[in-house]
A and B are shown apart, each in its own frame.
Chain A
Amino acid sequence: MTLTFLFAWLLFGGLVAWLSGKWSKNAPRWISIFVLTVHLVVTIRLWISYLAHNGFGLKTGQWFLTEKAAWIPQWGISYFLAIDGLSILLLVLTSFLGLLAVACSWKGIQTKVGFFHFNLLWILAGISGVFMALDLFLFYFFWEIMLIPLYFLIGIWGHSNRIYATLKFFIFTQASGLFMLISILGLFFIHGHNTGHYTFNYLELIGTSVSPKIAFWLMLGFFLGFGVKLPVVPVHTWLPDAHTEAPTAGSVVLAGLVLKAGAYGFIRFLMPLFPQAGKEFATVAMVLGIIGIIYAAIVAFAQTDLKRLVAYTSVSHMGFVLLGIFAWNQLALQGAMMIIISHALSTGALFILVGDLYDRLHTRDMDKLGGLWDVVPRFGGFGMVFAMASLGLPGLANFVGEILVLMGVFQVNVVIASLATLGFIAATIYSLWMIQRTFFGKNKNNYTVPDATPREIGILGALVVTLVWLGLFPNTVLKTSKNAFHHLQEIVNRSAYKQTEQLQIGPEGLQPQSNKSQSVSGSNYGDMK
């Protein structure tokens, strides 16, 4: 029941928060805090018990916790939730960021407070579901459920150009999701046709033998669905608009969790379901990742809107995640996981910071800002830390992730790894540029505004502590996800091997190479531990 609780509790809490909005403005806030605290406690409890005992001993195909029931048996759809280390980390992240999102909109949201928290909690419920669902239909269901409340969140509490931004966001994600649905259905029918057993069960669909040509198209449907969310560069244009117009909490959830659902989809579904096609597509995907890293960094540098700048840095960082996933070895995957978490924290923090500044100054235009260090030194200090995190300063969490990805990619493709290091330089430039233009220089408009309040210091402080903690002791995270990645790699290698064997046309070069990289990564990992 724990897994059902993890999303149903948020749905329930959202309804209560909505209804309580009639009585007072503070009631929904406190209810959301309570609901999310309970959620956080439960997820951390799961994490601790994973670390404490049976988590590491799980074999491939075993799960830390599962729940299964019939849902629409006529169509082979079941209610199937399961978690492993990967899911646990993302669930903890979900409740932690959710809590911060509620806290950071305490003062900023003054209208329709009940409905706001309803939407926020339902987004988190949908995301929690995405991280647990192992039935492809159920997964798609959660995947789409989070869109509607997010749409409301941006569309109602957003800034001036919000209608355009929300429509763009919704149509991009909805259309790409439908292409993924076609792929899911295609896989469903192929598997049913092959075995006579029609099912959406992820574990049974793994290893379905699909002819390479069809597998490529199905894989492309998934790639589109996850790629738009991540976002991958040619289809990223909705993200800067959505971020710029979203309220702070919306940006935090969007950057911290919604984008991560895309990354999770690549890891959990795309590669295991289409190992051969995925590997053949890997070079293309990694090139897209490189383009994303460099292009988005350049565009970020050209922004004058502070929030838009941060949004583009998100795109750039997600390029690293894409690289890490498609390199598909233990180091790179661990690195991607690390970036997923650290980026959620550091970018969420930057969005909160920008939101706090905007509440005070009513502008995000960097041409008008400057010299704020003297006015709001606390924000300045925090801003500096988060900018350093974003540019990958050793000692902070982002560094660990990016270096692991680079090491992992290096084993697969030296050229791409070398190009990716350019991303570090670009990140340094835009981060320092951002700090320079906001906090240093001359205070042209003579802003005098109050500095951070205890609430804001609490939020930002919590984020700094987590970033430093993960930067110095990344093993807590790496230990948790190691087993899950190992299993996923095993699944991919095994079914890629099976497909090659059956079809007799798989490229011979891939197999030994992937084995090699795996063993190398294993030994490296041992060193680190």
Chain B
Amino acid sequence: MTSLEISKLMPLIVVLLTPMVVMLYIAVKRNHFITMLLSVLGLLIALALIPATRLVPVTRIGSLLIIDNYALFYFSLIFLAAIFILVPSYSYLEKRFGGNKEEYYLLILTATLGSAILAASSHFATFFLGLEILSVSLYALIAYLRQTNEGIEAAVKYLILAAASSAFLVFGMALVYSQTGTMSFSGVTDFLSKAADYNLILVAGIAMMVVGFGFKMALVPFHMWSPDVYQGAPAPVSAFIASVSKGGILALLFRFFAQYDIVQSKPLFIIFGGLAVLSMFGGNLLALMQKNVKRLLAYSSIAHFGYILTAFIAGNHNARFTGAGAATFYIVTYFITIIGAFIIVGVLSSKEREAFARSDYKGMYWRHPWLSVAFSAMLFSLAGIPLTAGFIGKYYVLSTGIGNGLWWLVVIMIINSALGVYYYLRVIVEMFSSADEEKTDLQASVRVGLMTGIALALLTIALVWLGVYPTGVISAIKTSMLMF
């Protein structure tokens, strides 16, 4: 390995070293605050290295990893998201957990590493490696609050289903390998586009891989785990699963199919189109019934990945509106909103329980105006209302769909947006209605710490900024998508 390659790998190496340093520090002395600080510092260093790394003139690291601008863009996104999840986790853990808090940060860091590897992988081996680093860390993270039954239940559920889906994925990879003779992504897609017709084994292999993808991104009909896990896991971990974990897979999916035209390939178009439609309708219709805010966010996240799939299917033909660009922009806005929303859920939680019921938010505006304004902004963004980033994201996806002639998907997306508005607004209505003075005990004890407050303020500002003036981020994404 040359020194150039090593310097290109620096962000990953730093993220790998950080948990080791943290581990050593824990061995010497347990201090919750310093552990958090060290983890955030490690991620910040990795983030600061990214601009310098862009200049290093190699992209392929062996045949396993590819660190181009696209991967680096996702690195920055993943690291930033992890920082914004770690900082509020501090006060969350202080409030809700009596045991050892320090290992939580280790696990988040390794999971972040796994997700980053996914974004940079170009080979089945690294794909699987990244995925397992991510998943194994998540098993422990979901059950981190050991005193809660829901946590344990959610972790077991996730463990069994994730293991099963990994098995599908690996078996699918093996079948594909047996036919194509290669495990690198570009080799596989080359084979797919050249092959005149696919034999059964290849189709079965791809189908099994799609099941794996579908499970990790919680697409209908592979979504059963997600509401339970979101509900049972600690709020910051739910945020992590909804953002970093899904984002890594998505980055990989885009890289895998970068050169491949989904619309032209009938079977894949039907598979992904079907998944998108099912996810949009499934997520939104199920969310309509929810009174539990965490489950609601889980279902809405399913629907949002349906929207993202629409952009994915549209592909990259229309140079002005590339599917990958639209989806990446959407992911950025979605990260901001979903992390912000879960931070607020965490802030409202008490020692005994999390603020999951919609009635917990009743009249919140009159007690915590800033917190409710931030939460409303997040929910408006998820609903795709102008002035928020979510609107620009949705607009980008819509225009990509129309630009590539996917009218029926676009109309379905519009119908679903209208459905979505309904349940997001219900939560907002609850916040702005008059409070019953005695009933809501959760809100009385809320204290927004300084760091959490800053994180929330930054997210809200970013949300409005992207909603009003997205030019900078759009061009940043465009330059990162040059590989397509």
Contact = CB atoms under 8 A, between A and B. Distances in A.
Interface of A: 71-75, 112, 140-141, 144-145, 147-148, 151-152, 155-156, 163, 166-167, 170-171, 174-175, 178-179, 181-182, 185-186, 188-189, 192, 198
6 contacts: A71-B471, A174-B417, A174-B418, A178-B414, A181-B398, A192-B320
Contacts of B411: 182
Interface residues of B, number: 31
A186 B475 CA distance: 23
A163 B425 CA distance: 10
Interface in B374-422: 380, 385-387, 391, 395, 398-399, 402-403, 410-411, 414-415, 417-418, 421-422
Interface of B: 320, 366, 380, 385-387, 391, 395, 398-399, 402-403, 410-411, 414-415, 417-418, 421-422, 425-426, 429, 432-433, 469-471, 474-475, 478
A218 B402 CA distance: 13
A170 B421 contact: yes
A74 B471 contact: yes
A167 B425 contact: yes
A24 to B, nearest CB: 17
B432 A152 contact: yes
Contacts of A71: 469, 471
B20 to A, nearest CB: 42
Given A72-B470, A145-B387, A148-B380, A175 B418 contact: yes
Contacts of A189: 399, 402-403
A179 B412 CA distance: 11
B414 A186 contact: no
Q: Is the interface of B mostly helix, strand, loop or mixed?
A: helix
B124 to A, nearest CB: 35
Contacts of B478: 74
Contact of B402 (A74, A170, A185): A185
Contacts of B469: 71-72
B475 A74 contact: yes
Contacts, number: 79
B402 A171 contact: no
A147 B386 CA distance: 10
Given A72-B470, A72-B471, A72-B474, A182 B414 contact: yes
A147 B421 CA distance: 12
Contacts of A147: 385
Q: Taking each of A156, A170, A174, A186, which has the highest tally of chain B beta carbons within 10 Å of its own beta carbon? A: A174
Given A74-B475, A181-B398, A189-B402, A155 B418 contact: no
Contact of A182 (B386, B402, B425, B432): B402
Given A163-B433, A167-B429, 8 more contacts: A72-B471, A75-B474, A141-B387, A145-B386, A151-B425, A185-B402, A188-B399, A189-B399
A477 to B, nearest CB: 31
Given A182-B414, A189-B402, A170 B425 contact: yes
A75 B399 contact: yes
A113 to B, nearest CB: 13
Nearest to B366: A112
A38 B471 CA distance: 33
Contacts of A192: 320
B398 A182 contact: yes
Contacts of B386: 140-141, 144-145
A244 B429 CA distance: 18
A171 B418 contact: yes
B414 A171 contact: no
Contacts of B320: 74-75, 192, 198
